[in-house]
């Protein structure tokens, strides 16, 4: 939890935090989730690719943030009187041709589970067979939900 108690709202600082993990870092300002500046563009309904131009400046509003997944660095601006909390998302990260991040529930509920498992394990999809009733995936899902990611 970061906060600037007893400071006026015009007082702002920009922090750069090394996160030590590639999982999504969710930023909450005064309890509200603030999306990354490079995460999604609501105006034209598109996802945006990482770029240093999205790193917030001290003049940006409190809560502005950018996550550089490759370097595992979270940049954010904190203003006076605000409380900012960073939460690590419980997710599974797959690197295919692009990086995909899913929650454990999304991963196991996906129709593409054999392909996702193959990518996760570095196998050809033809080598993965889903067996119904084995209980393995239920136990694996419970493990991931309880302890976090698979690595």
Does one domain contain both 67 and 124? no
Does one domain contain both 53 and 103? no
Domain extent for 29:
2-88
pLDDT at 95 over 50: yes
Does one domain contain both 135 and 64? no
Does one domain contain both 126 and 63? no
Does one domain contain both 97 and 134? yes
- Beginning with the edge strand found earlier in the chain, give each strand of the sheet holding 25-29 in spatial order: 2-3, 83-88, 25-29, 32-34
pLDDT value at residue 139 = 66
Return mean pLDDT, the chain: 79
pLDDT value at residue 75 = 95
pTM equals 0.61
Pick from 40-49, 79-88, 132-141: least confident:
132-141
Does one domain contain both 102 and 121? yes
User: Is residue 120 within 8 Å of residue 150, measured between CB atoms?
Assistant: yes
d(C-alpha 72, C-alpha 68), whole Å: 6
Does one domain contain both 75 and 100? no
pLDDT at 133 over 70: no
């Amino acid at each position: 939890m970061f906060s600037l108690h007893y400071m006026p709202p015009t007082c702002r600082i920009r922090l750069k935090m090394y996160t030590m993990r590639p999982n999504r870092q969710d930023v909450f300002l005064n309890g509200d989730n603030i999306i990354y500046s490079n995460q999604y563009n609501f105006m034209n309904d598109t996802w945006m690719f990482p770029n240093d131009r999205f790193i917030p400046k001290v003049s940006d509003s409190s809560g502005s943030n950018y996550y550089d997944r490759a370097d595992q660095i979270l940049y954010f601006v904190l203003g006076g009187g605000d409380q900012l909390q960073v939460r690590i998302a419980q997710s599974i990260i797959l690197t295919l041709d692009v990086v995909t991040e899913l929650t454990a529930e999304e991963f196991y509920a996906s129709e593409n589970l054999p392909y996702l498992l193959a990518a996760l394990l570095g196998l050809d999809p033809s080598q993965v067979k889903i067996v119904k009733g084995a209980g393995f995936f239920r136990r694996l899902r419970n493990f991931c939900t309880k302890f976090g990611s698979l690595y």
